[in-house]
Amino acid sequence: MATTEKPFDRAALEQLCTKRFFFAPAFAIYGGVAGFYDYGPTGCALMNNIISVWRNHFVLEEEMLELDTTVMNTYDVLKTSGHVDKFADWMCKDLKNGEIFRADHLVEAVLEARLQGDREARAAKEGAAAVDAAKQAGEAVKKDKKKKKKGTVVAVELPDEERKAYEEILAQIDNYGGPELAQLITKYNIRSPESGNELSMPQEFNLMFESQIGPTGQLKGFLRPETAQGQFLNFKKLLEFNNDKMPFASAQVGRAFRNEISPRSGLLRVREFTMAEIEHYVDPNNKNHHAFQDMKDVVITLLSKDVQLQGKTQTVEMSIGEAVEKKIIDNQTLGYFMGRIYQFLLKIGIKREKLRFRQHMDNEMAHYACDCWDAEIKTSYGWIECVGCADRSAYDLTVHSVRTKEKLVVREQLAEPRTVEKWQVEINKKTFGPKYKKNAKAVEEAILAYTDECFAELEKELTSKGTALVEADGQKFEVTKDDVTVKLGTVTEHVREYTPNVIEPSFGIGRILYSLLEHSWWVREDDEARNVLSFPALVAPFKVCVLPLSGNAEFEPLVKKFSRALRQNGVSTRTDDSKASIGRRYSRNDELGIPYAITVDFQTVQDNTVTLRERDSTKQIRDTFENILKIIKEAQ
């Protein structure tokens, strides 16, 4: 057995995925629409197994409260959460042929292609120098018959400064918003890659799919872009269900929808996908985790924001304990979940050396987050974010509470009453209404939702300048000290009331599944090249294939009996009684990633023994069916 070390052949893997019906473009017979895929029986079984491991690993082992909330969300909910105003990406347009690009992806692709062109030009120059030297030394020189790479890569050497600038930009590409991307497009003369045409400047595009609820058309809704909001809206009931005990977590697996600007990377960027999300509610004054001791020695690979801001991509290997102690990871709970994510991904078969955690830079962070680490997996498309692990602070519960007047807080009885300083705010209704008219309510709500830091800032500005700016409904409003009074006062408390912070690990199951396909795929060089998908048995779409050696009628009842016995023992099976040779059928199993094959032959009819073949090693053993069943169950 020998594995190939050739460059990754994505087209061959895609062909395999289609042939064995892992997934395929949706509406294909109608020509398909970018960003929509259907999963076939194999992909569906693989996805369900990944989700099942996820449920055991998180919901069961961590005692989480699982929910199933609606996919359709109302305008009000998503307006309040900030998605209506801020859940957007930047797009630009080829000014001649109208092709649309996501602006940051376009800048990234063009600069990467230029760097690749630079590498090729320099390699060619070195090659030419070597040829000259060889000619001078009188050696015969072989012609390099390698074809030039097609596409947008042009072998042009870059000045050192430009090369360095590109590398620095790429290291922090996620940090740029529309205006910065516009500057880069102008400064580096970035054009439409295929046509070379000029591009429009980036414009914001909201990613939510809009809909109407009911026949009147008056109630606007959106397909949810994440499963989180449904969990926040149920916080009060969840806390009660948990006997008012903190901390705790809710979890949900379900579909999410994002109208991606230009989905071009298969399953990695789609418009409808399955997410698995956890919302862990924690006391903002104590983000320690009770099981941190078990996690502190786990070593993970980290790429911090400081390194990226220096234009670099060097990672460090560090224990979670050390990273939390040095404040690289903000707190124990965030660290604990990063460790659990890491363990989960390894358990389902993601390769350790192709897994890292990258910290978000400040501009990159979603509108609700205060610290965020992405679990990124290396694939042939580069490093891909597969799990986001964000500290969403108290953002969501606060804004929903302010909007609905429903208290989404934890009340904790204090052993001793205490005197605390609290910001007190008075809105001058007399000036507010006439001044802000239809926006008065939104401006008031925005102020009432302020955190302590924001109140302190507001008070400072009103005292020093007499005015301050308040953001509400995506606009800025000037308020004066006649409109609002903010002061710090003292109150005696018997109960501590606080809005929990939320640590959110958010998994994209499709991205994880595709990465797993890449990490599991290899080619066995026997008499011919044969594909193998080495999934761990835990997630393999089917665990056992039962095969009759030939079409002999005596084998059929035994095949049926063994398959049934396996399934009754919770082992999923597939039967392959096609006419193909046994070798060809084994190869087919390997392509489906089935870890074991049981073969029924003439000896089975005599003594009830079968052969068990293991997919990766192709080793075979013979034993009674009952013993083989035991081995398989233990290996699951």
What residue ranges bind ligand ATP (CB under 6 A)?
258, 260, 269-270, 273, 275, 385-388, 506, 508, 510-511
Sign (positive or negative) of CA dihedral 182, 183, 189, 194: negative
**Which CB atom, from 202 or from 510, has the smaller least distance to ligand ATP?**
510
Contact (Cβ atoms closer than 8 angstroms) between residue 381 and residue 400: no
| Minimum distance of ligand ATP from residue 345's CB (angstroms) | 12
Rounded to a whole number of angstroms, the minimum distance from the CB of residue 380 to ligand ATP is: 16
CB contact at 8 A, 91 and 260: no
User: Shortest distance, CB of residue 159 to ligand ATP, whole angstroms?
Assistant: 31
For the CB of residue 389, give the shortest distance to ligand ATP in the complex, in Å: 9
The b-or-e profile of 316-335 (16+ CB within 10 A means b, else e) is eebbbbebbeeebbbbbbbb
CB of 340 to ligand ATP, least distance (A): 15
Q: How many Cβ atoms are within 10 Å of 11's Cβ, its own excluded? A: 8
Closest CA to 234 of 384, 474, 400, 435: 400
DSSP state of 438: G
For 588, phi then psi, to 5°, come to -60, -40
Q: In this structure, which amino acid lies at residue 73?
A: N
| Residue 274: CB minimum distance to ligand ATP, A | 9
What angle in degrees, to the nearest 10, is found between the helix axes of 555-568 and 625-635? 40
Nearer to ligand ATP by Cβ, of 364 and 576: the residue is 364
* Integer Cα distance of 626 and 403 in angstroms: 62
Q: Which is nearer to ligand ATP, 513 or 571 (CB)?
A: 513
Q: Which is nearer to ligand ATP, 228 or 592 (CB)?
A: 228
CB closer to ligand ATP, 109 vs 456: 109
Minimum distance between the CB of residue 73 and ligand ATP, rounded to whole angstroms?
15
- Compute the residue count for the chain: 636
Q: How far is the CB of 272 from ligand ATP (least distance, A)?
A: 8
Query: Cβ of 55: how many Cβ atoms within 10 Å?
Result: 16
Q: Give whichever of 366 and 442 is closer to ligand ATP, judged by the CB atom.
A: 366
State the minimum distance, in angstroms, from the CB of residue 54 to ligand ATP.
Answer: 13
User: CA 54, CA 132: separation in Å to the nearest integer?
Assistant: 59
CB of 568 to ligand ATP, least distance (A): 36
Pick the closer one to ligand ATP by CB: 362 or 497: 362
Residue nearer to ligand ATP on the CB measure, 108 or 614: 108
The strand pairing partners of 372, in sequence order, are 390
Find residue 37's DSSP bridge partners: 25
N- to C-terminal Cα distance for the chain? 25
Choice between 66 and 385, CB closer to ligand ATP = 385
Task: Report yes or no: 259 and 271 within 8 Å, Cβ to Cβ.
Answer: yes
Work out how close the CB of 69 gets to ligand ATP at its nearest, in angstroms, rounded to a whole number: 17
Residues forming beta bridges with residue 400, ordered by sequence position: none
C-alpha 197/C-alpha 522 separation (Å) is: 40
Using Cβ positions, the residue closest to ligand ATP within the complex turns out to be 508
Residue 291 DSSP class: T
Residue among 260 and 396 whose Cβ is closer to ligand ATP: 260
Which residues, other chains included, contact 460 with Cβ-Cβ below 8 Å and sequence gap of 6+?
none
Contacts 24+ apart (CB under 8 A), 80-86: 80/399, 80/400, 80/403, 81/229, 81/232, 81/368, 81/396, 81/399, 81/400, 82/367, 82/368, 82/395, 82/399, 83/208, 83/222, 83/225, 83/229, 84/206, 84/208, 84/222, 85/473, 85/474, 86/367, 86/474
Q: Which is nearer to ligand ATP, 386 or 546 (CB)?
A: 386
**Closest CB to ligand ATP among residues 17, 537:** 17
